[in-house]
Structures are given as structure tokens and as C-alpha cells.
Amino acid sequence: MTKTPALEVFADQISAAAKVITAFCASTGHPHPSFDDTQLNGLDTLPSSAPAEIQEARQVILESAYRLQQLIIEPSQYLARLAVYPQHLAAIQWLCHFKIPSLVPHEGTISYPDLAAAAHVPLHQLKSITRMAITGNFLGEPALNQVAHNKTSARFVSNPSLCDWALFLAEDSAPIAPKLVEATQKWGETTKKTETAFNLTLNTDLPFFDYLSSSPEFTQRFSAYMKNVAKGEATNIKHLVQGYDWASLDNATVVDVGGSSGHASIALAETYPQLRFIVQDLPMVIETSQSQVPDAVRSRITFQSHDFFTPQPVRDADVYLLRMILHDWPREEAQKILSHVAAALRPGARIIVMDTVLPNPGSVPVSEEALLRVRDMTMMQTFNSHERGMDEWEELVHAADSKLNITRSIQPVGSAMTVLEVGLGQ
């Protein structure tokens, strides 16, 4: 039997998935995905509430298109194609810095000369940079020398913190990656949080979070980045809320370890009225967080100053939640954090870890794996930490306390993170 060529396989997968999405749009009245942005209705390409089969069809298209490009691009074109991405980011950085998106009318167009005059920037730079951005699906030029918004760029106006996110990526994050070579040459195999590519880039002896607290500008961009990441599909808080059977916990007390402003506890409290929460973080974080809790859940959420490198003071909780905590820390520190929680764990209680679990190479779609590997590289470059595979999570759990076991692993659809339930063995 003749094997179908890969080129046709990927093309057929795209065609079949496109028909699924087209049928969904036709039946629900949701606009079909289109490059025609004459109506900037603020809607996502596909609603996040779409059924799982629609989200899966979307993922099939993303993966098959990604692999199709990899298949058809000549090896001799590889580096030339790679050079496009830094220039896309540089273009968005420039446009955001000079507030170009806010100067383009929401509807209609503006000429390059008028836009340059309004932004007080050189015309030739504006034209070249905007046209570079357009090749990355940011802004549009529906008529020669006339600039207009598309859905992507319009979102940067309705949500200005996206520009802060872009500036963080371009000015704070992207410059770190090339310093990894120098960091390896200088320090070799180190896990110290002050011997990283980040330290070389910023010329600082401070660990990342200490530097963060010393720089208001850096803090603003990082906060905007984190807020937008939290809203994104891959790290959306809904995956924590819907990805575990919280309803079965009855009147449980949940300790949100390193819970920052309490956004995870707030989301859970709003959905599960039987649960009570204790949000733990450093004093300076707690001071500014309590006032942000909605009145409807305030009576069920308390805040407690706590450094998770010290013994856990709450000894009778039912659940200890660590969401996006352990990945920030190298093995030794992560083990210490987990061991303090384990020491407070009573029989029947559990630890819920929500963090990235790296897949084995090739075990998930490459387009998904690439995003997870970006997170892994970022942890290495910034913290001398890394994202862990399941075998590493099991080793970490046992190293923290030999009686601990991972009892369940749940991968919510669309989430970049996995829910790990950890409990005491017999």
C-alpha cells in the first residue's frame, strides 16, 4: 500500500479542520476568520468558549500549517526565514514606543505623511517599519500609502498594556537570550540565581526578583507582561478553576502558597462558594493585595505574610496550592519550598501543583512543544532554572519528602500547564 506523501497529509488535515471551524461559524453566527478587517468588532478569531472539538480543530490547523512550512522550506532558506522574527519584534517595539497604534483611526485610514507628522517621527522610518509589521499581521495598508488597523493592532489600542508587554519582550527579555553563550563560558554548570544571562545583560549582581523591586520601569513592563500572560489561553486561570474537581472538596481550606495578589484564589472562590482561602506571600506583596479582593468573596479569603523558604505555618489545611511557583527555582530551592509544605501536610490533605510539564520530544504537536521550550529556555536564561518533565517532577516530589507521590496528572485542554495532585503515600 502506497504511503500518502506528508505534503498531502498536512494539506488534508488543514482542509478537514477548516471545514469543522467553518461549520461552527455558520451555525453560531460567529464571523468567519478573515483578513478583511473592515469591521473591527473586537471579537477573537474563535471564542474561548467554543466547544473542545473546535479548539482541537484550530490546533490541528496551527500544527499542520507549522509543519507544512517546515516541510516545504528549503534548508538554504532556513536562516533567512529565521531572521524575520527579530525584525517583527523590533518593528512592534518601535511602533509601540512612538504610540503609532493609538494614532491610527479605529475605522478608515491615515496617510503615511499625516501619521509621521502626528507621531513626530521620520517618514521613511515609519513607512519601512510599518510595512515590516504588516508582514507579521500587525496593521494594514489597504490602499497604497494608507495605513489602517487590523484586528491585531486594534487590540493594542483597546488594551494598551499589550504595548507594555511588547516593550518588555523587546527591551527586557529578547536581549537576554544571546548572553547565554557568555554565561556558559563564564560560569559553566551553575545553578546560582546571580550567575545568569539575565545578570550579564542588565550588568547586575541581583537575582531577577530583587532587580525587579529596584526598578519601577522594569516592574511596570513585567507586571503588564504577567497580566497579559495570565489572560492568554495557555495560562488562563480558567484552566485551574475547571481543570480540577474543586467541587468535591466540600468546606476545604486552601492555602495559596506564593499567591501574590490572590488572583487564583479569587477565581476559585467566585466559582466554589464552599471553599475558604489563605493567600501567602511576602509582606510588601500582601500589603497591596488585600484591597483588591472583591466584596463578594472577601469574607472567605485571608492574607498571610509568609516566606515559602521557611516552615509552613498553616498545619491543618486541606489543600496547598502552588501555581507557577516551582518553575522559577532551581532544583535545590524548589525542593526546599516543597519540603516545607510536605512537613505541614496531614493525612488526607494534598498539594496541588500547577506548572509546566515538559513533554518528551515529539510526543505533542511541534507548534505546542516550541512554546513550552521557549518557557524552558527563559527559565534557564533568567533564573538558572528550567521547566521539568514528568520524570523530573517525580524526582523532585520524592526528594522533598520520600512519602510524597504524584497521585494524579491532569492536562486541561488548551493549557500550557498541567495540574499535579500530590499526596502522602501509605
Q: Is 26 helix (H, G, I), strand (E, B) or coil?
A: helix
Q: Which of 223, 94, 78 is nearest to 170 (CA)?
A: 94
- CA angle, 49 as apex, 43 and 53 as ends, to 5°? 115
For residue 323, give Cα distances in angstroms to 151, 320, 411, 421. Answer: 32, 10, 14, 12
For the annotated catalytic residues, the residue numbers are 327
Q: Which of 264, 227, 233 is nearest to 246 (CA)?
A: 264
Confirm if 404 and 222 have CB atoms less than 8 A apart: no
Four-CA torsion 79, 85, 91, 95, nearest 10 degrees: 180
Residue 154 to residue 138: CA distance in whole angstroms: 9
E strand or H helix at 140:
strand 140-143
E strand or H helix at 357:
strand 357-358
Residue 41 to residue 154: CA distance in whole angstroms: 10
